[in-house]
Chain A
Amino acid sequence: MISKKAMDAAASALIEVCASFSDVELELLGEPRPFEPNGFVMGSCVSLTQPEGTFSLAVLGDERSCEVMTRALFAMEPDEEVGKEEHADALGEIANMTAGAVKRSLTTIDGEELLLGLPLFFSGSDGLQYVRKGVDVITQEVGGEGLELQVVLICQRGRSCEVKAA
């Protein structure tokens, strides 16, 4: 079961990260819901581990939003081309910083720190669509200024991923 606290922390963290490094102000779009692709094409994923159950945090976006964020992080000129390597670097850093902020704001139920994994870039949303039975994939959309990103939490159903404020 995915904790509301974790979802709220993840969404807030992504908004903070984007504002800090790209001058892009995003806000929550609707409520958390089961993941659906909806044109979101690439992103990056980081695991957050605790003894009771590992969950993963992913940040993904549609093609335009990913390009805007990548260009912003690299401060690229308009005529510079954005390749997969740049996307992997930028989206990896966004996911990494978002997960780091989540880690600082939450602990395990027993007050222990969450452990961060390494960011893994992915292209295409199949990995989030075709998951094993019993895995919950919940997303919160954030957007603004014509951009849309999703912060996604992935957790095995039935195992507690409860966390609390640090």
Chain B
Amino acid sequence: MKIMIVDDSRAMRSIVRRSLRKAGFGGHDVVEAHNGAAALEMVGQDPPDLILADWNMPEMSGIDLLRALRAAGNAVSFGFITTEGTEAMRKLASDAGARFLLAKPFTPEDMAKQLEGLIK
């Protein structure tokens, strides 16, 4: 599988990448984008199977990225990894088509639970 990590923080992209490994998903191809706009362009060129995105990013937020993908008919599996995990945001994420919202900080076990069934 190809997994795309979208976050404007290089530290956070590194954390998500390591967490994927620790959660048992280390054997997959992982690519990174530094914001939603860059991710959208990359998706057009080389579609991933799963996108893990932050919410607040410059140029294009994670929620706007998701909405743009769905508006274009792209049904890629999408999950948020974000600091804010309020009920209102979870509903926004779900309504837009996200499969999950994982709030930071999280453990590899938390991640494994969310990705179970999404990653073979």
Contacts and interface: CB of A to CB of B under 8 A. Distances in A.
A53 interface: no
A97 B106 CA distance: 10
Interface residues of B, number: 17
Contact of A17 (B14, B86, B105): B105
B91 interface: no
A104 to B, nearest CB: 6
A93 B85 CA distance: 16
Contact of B103 (A21, A89, A92, A104): A104
A96 B107 CA distance: 17
Contacts, number: 48
- Interface range on chain A: under 10, 10 to 19, 20 to 34, or 35 or more? 20 to 34
Contact of B11 (A89, A99, A100, A116): A89
B2 to A, nearest CB: 22
A21 B84 contact: no
Contact of A93 (B9, B18, B103, B107): B9
Contacts of B85: 100, 104
A38 interface: no
Nearest to B7: A93
Interface in B53-100: 56, 83-86
A100 B9 contact: no
Contacts of B10: 74, 86, 89
A62 to B, nearest CB: 19
Interface of B: 9-12, 14-15, 18, 56, 83-86, 103-107
Given A92-B11, A100-B84, A100-B104, 18 more contacts: A16-B105, A20-B105, A20-B106, A20-B107, A73-B11, A73-B14, A74-B10, A74-B11, A74-B14, A86-B11, A89-B11, A90-B11, A92-B9, A93-B9, A93-B12, A97-B105, A103-B84, A113-B86
6 contacts: A16-B105, A73-B11, A75-B18, A86-B11, A97-B83, A116-B84
